[in-house]
Amino acid sequence: MATSRSSAILGYLESKKNLAGGACGVLGLVLTLTGVAGTYWPVVVGGLYAAGALIAPPERLRPPVPPEPAEQLGFAREDFARLREYAGEVELPAEPAGILAGLLELYAAVLAPGWVAGVLAGDPEAVHALTRAIRTDVPECVDAYQRTRWWTRLAPGGESPERHLERQLSLLREEAERLTADLRETEARRQQTHTTYLEGRRES
């Protein structure tokens, strides 16, 4: 607590308000030394300091810096570990469970440390999409299914929650497959670029 208080004090001492107030306070001292302030010099100096602090422009707040893709990938791995643990504790019908298992295998392959993860880290949009799916989409699918299934047992009828879950997980699987296809295309372009470079070097 003492450290945070010291940081706050140091921050104010370096602030524009303190600097402006100090400049006006110096003006008050000048008026005192020249005899203008008279016996009320403490009030004059304090008032000028306060006036300077009030008219100083507010401090510009620094916008939050988003994490780098590689750092965000580390967060995604932590979220994925929690997701696998959560998925291992829930009971799902055979068909959705199979889709979920395949989806998790795909996530695991892409997130595994190595050159594949390096390619992924070079695509911030892909990292964001993968993080969103792992952190939000998959848990929401499973949680919504469990809640809806509980209500369905009380009041049977309506559309099957299993079909919704199967459809949701299938869509996420398609999204993950598009992501891996894009990464594969990135590597294919890289290979083609190097081939073109070597061919050009031979002809030169």
Q: What is the pLDDT of residues 54-90, one digit of tens each?
A: 666 666 666 665 567 677 888 889 999 999 999 999 9
How far, in Å, CA of 112 to CA of 107, rounded? 8
How far, in Å, CA of 129 to CA of 176, rounded? 9
Is residue 15 predicted with pLDDT exceeding 80? no
How far, in Å, CA of 108 to CA of 157, rounded? 37
Segment 157-183 mean pLDDT: 90
The DSSP symbol for 113 reads: T
Q: Are 189 and 181 in contact (CB under 8 A)?
A: no
Q: Give pLDDT tens digits for 16-51.
A: 666 666 676 676 666 666 766 666 667 666 776 676
How far, in Å, CA of 188 to CA of 157, rounded? 50
Q: How confident is the model at residue 165 (pLDDT cuts 50, 70, 90)?
A: very high
Which of 100, 87, 167 is closest to 159 using CA atoms?
Answer: 167
Q: Are 134 and 80 in contact (CB under 8 A)?
A: yes
